């Protein structure tokens, strides 16, 4: 990292971004990051097991159209829950405090992820994803506000980026669970249930939160002002749409909507890139054609389907690990993009960083899905492209942790950041329910959604630049 990072954020300070950070500030970053890491694990464990869990609940093979439909509905439900939880718990954090609300959110998503292990029907999965997401959406709003309030101005963009980048750890944990638990043939057809069962583990983190964290000084002062002045009440959603807050809210919701719709509708399907290649290799090894004969009758189609499933089942573990390798490569690139967003936004400004990430993400989305995958270029080019693809499509999400808390005063910070980020989930939920009603291949979804990144570039031009500004009181 450059020695000069953060100087422009300090109005003349010569300190490096990490100099002068206290042990307690590092502790806050660590706890917030662990909460967000486990948060993301709870979301991504479904992604890692969606080809096993839903087919098992439906009693059909993984490639049946009904599986894709129910998975899309589960995604939609998850995103709806995140939208509600982000708003509710964001408001709660402004009213009762950051640390208390963080405990509630972690317990919320831990409990319902664990309960998912006992799902018996596809609608159970859909409903439980909703409640998991309420905790997931709430935790981000609380943790991002706390990190922003505790860190000095020179360090805030980098620290907020590091906080959001901890999501990589959650995704990698989910990928490992997918490869070695969900994809483990020794655990039988119910292996996916063990992946969800370990979701109870983050609940232990709440003990550390309760023991170590205190409320940020900014929040304490805002709470005191609220008790003596009705005009300074905390956590009022209506104020997000009043005065100067209105523009910030529209911009924030728009950016989050674009980033999350393209993430859930495009980025996550990067994990299918190497999976497709592994499936082809398995079929070749078992002397099964890649597709059914064009003029085949019903009996021939049925026979082909059975032989195809038998061949893929024989190489289930290898295919699952290829899928998780795609996820890992995608995520590693995304993690680097998340960490560097803070540094880039210090150099180029928040607006410049957002424009760069959106513009390149558009190119990478088309390159991966419309060119490389569509033309069957092979494993090597996919493995090279996936980290770059992840860098920009996922990396921009750090901007929400950096930028959204800078838009609102302390008494509205959790409410505003949570509302902006999680209304993006609401827009994404609508898209997935649409995909569920009119199912299209994953690659097609990604190509359809890619132009949204260009819309994001345009929106950023109307955004307020917050570089060199202190957090509003």
Length of the chain: 473
The first and second tokens of residue 281, run together, are 């290799």
312: in domain: yes
- Residues whose CB is less than 8 angstroms from the CB of residue 187 and which lie 6 or more positions away in sequence, other chains included: 181, 194
Report the CATH number that the domain containing residue 260 is assigned in CATH.
1.20.1250.20
Task: Summarize pLDDT for 216-259 with one digit per residue, the tens.
Answer: 888 888 888 877 777 777 778 889 898 889 999 999 999 999 99
Q: Which domain holds residue 446?
A: 21-206+235-460
Half-sphere exposure of 447 (CA within 13 A, CB side): 13
Task: Summarize pLDDT for 119-143 with one digit per residue, the tens.
Answer: 999 999 999 999 998 998 888 888 8
- Residues whose CB is less than 8 angstroms from the CB of residue 25 and which lie 6 or more positions away in sequence, other chains included: 150, 151
The model's confidence at residue 210, banded by pLDDT at 50, 70 and 90, is confident
- Residues whose CB is less than 8 angstroms from the CB of residue 104 and which lie 6 or more positions away in sequence, other chains included: 89, 92, 135, 138
Which residue is it, tokens 């170590």? Answer: 212
pLDDT at residue 5 greater than cutoff 50: no
Task: Summarize pLDDT for 422-473 with one digit per residue, the tens.
Answer: 888 788 777 766 665 666 666 777 888 899 999 999 999 999 999 888 878 7
pLDDT computed for residue 440 by the predictor: 67
The model's confidence at residue 11, banded by pLDDT at 50, 70 and 90, is very low
Torsion of CA 72, 73, 78, 80, to 10 degrees: 120
How many domains does the structure of the chain reveal?
Answer: 1
Instruction: Give which of 330, 334, 443, 331 is closest to 382, Cα–Cα.
Output: 330
Give the percent of the chain with pLDDT over 90.
31
CB-count burial class (<10 Å; 0-12, 13-18, 19+) for 307: middle
Which residue is it, tokens 């439980």? Answer: 128
pLDDT at residue 28 greater than cutoff 60: yes
CA distance from start to end of the chain: 30
Q: In the predicted model, what is the mean pLDDT of residues 406-421?
A: 89
473: in domain: no
Number of H helices, E strands in the chain: 18, 0
The model's confidence at residue 3, banded by pLDDT at 50, 70 and 90, is very low
The first and second tokens of residue 368, run together, are 């991966």
DSSP tag of 20:
T
pLDDT at residue 273 greater than cutoff 80: no
Q: In the predicted model, what is the mean pLDDT of residues 371-390?
A: 85
Given a contact cutoff of 8 angstroms between Cβ atoms, the answer to whether 391 and 400 are in contact is: no
The model's confidence at residue 271, banded by pLDDT at 50, 70 and 90, is low
325: in domain: yes
15: in domain: no
- Local structure of 243: helix, strand or coil: coil
DSSP tag of 180:
I
pLDDT at residue 117 greater than cutoff 80: yes
Would you give the distance in Å from CA 299 to the centre of its chain?
43
pLDDT computed for residue 435 by the predictor: 64
Report how far residue 43's alpha carbon sits from residue 34's, in angstroms, rounded to the nearest whole number: 14
Range in 31-35, 171-175, 248-252, 321-325 the model is least confident about:
321-325
């Amino acid at each position: 990292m450059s020695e000069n990072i953060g100087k422009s954020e300090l109005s003349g300070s010569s300190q490096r971004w990490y100099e002068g950070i206290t042990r307690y500030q590092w502790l806050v970053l660590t706890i917030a990051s662990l909460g967000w890491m486990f948060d993301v694990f709870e979301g991504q464990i479904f992604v890692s097991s969606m080809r096993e869990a839903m087919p098992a609940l439906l009693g059909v093979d993984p490639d049946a159209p009904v599986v894709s439909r129910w998975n899309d509905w589960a995604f939609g439900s998850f995103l709806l829950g995140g939208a509600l939880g982000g708003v509710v718990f964001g408001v709660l954090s402004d009213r009762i405090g950051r640390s208390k609300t963080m405990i509630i959110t972690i317990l919320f998503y831990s409990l319902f992820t664990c309960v998912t292990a006992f799902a018996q029907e596809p609608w159970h999965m859909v409903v439980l994803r909703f409640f998991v997401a309420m905790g997931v959406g709430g935790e981000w709003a609380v943790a991002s506000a706390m990190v922003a309030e505790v860190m000095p101005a020179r360090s805030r963009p980098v620290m907020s980026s590091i906080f959001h980048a901890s999501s990589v750890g959650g995704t990698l944990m989910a990928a490992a669970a997918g490869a070695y638990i969900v994809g483990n043939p020794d655990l039988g057809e119910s292996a996916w249930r063990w992946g969800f069962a370990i979701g109870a583990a983050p609940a232990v983190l709440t003990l550390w939160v309760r023991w170590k964290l205190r409320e940020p000084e900014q929040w304490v002062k805002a709470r005191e002002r609220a008790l003596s002045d009705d005009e300074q009440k905390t956590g009022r959603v209506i104020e997000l749409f009043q005065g100067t807050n209105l523009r910030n809210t529209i911009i924030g919701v728009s950016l989050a909507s674009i980033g999350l719709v393209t993430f859930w509708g495009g980025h996550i399907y990067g994990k299918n890139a190497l999976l497709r290649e592994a499936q082809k290799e398995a079929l070749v090894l078992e002397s099964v054609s890649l597709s059914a004969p064009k003029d085949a009758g019903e009996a021939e189609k049925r026979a082909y389907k059975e032989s195809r499933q038998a061949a893929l089942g024989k190489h289930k573990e290898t295919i699952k690990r290829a899928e998780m390798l795609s996820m890992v490569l995608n995520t590693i690139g995304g993690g680097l993009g998340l960490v560097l967003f803070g540094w880039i936004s210090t150099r180029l400004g928040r607006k410049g960083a957002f424009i760069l990430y959106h513009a390149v993400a558009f190119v990478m989305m088309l390159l991966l899905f419309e060119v490389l995958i569509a033309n069957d270029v092979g494993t090597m080019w996919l493995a090279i492209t996936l980290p770059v693809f992840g860098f920009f499509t996922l990396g921009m999400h750090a901007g929400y942790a950096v930028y959204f808390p800078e838009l609102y005063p302390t008494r509205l910070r959790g409410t505003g950041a949570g509302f902006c980020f999680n209304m993006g989930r609401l827009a994404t939920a609508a898209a997935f329910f649409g995909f569920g009603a009119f199912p299209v291949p994953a690659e097609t979804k990604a190509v359809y959604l890619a132009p949204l990144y260009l819309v994001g570039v345009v929106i950023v031009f109307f955004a307020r630049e917050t570089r060199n500004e202190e957090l509003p009181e």
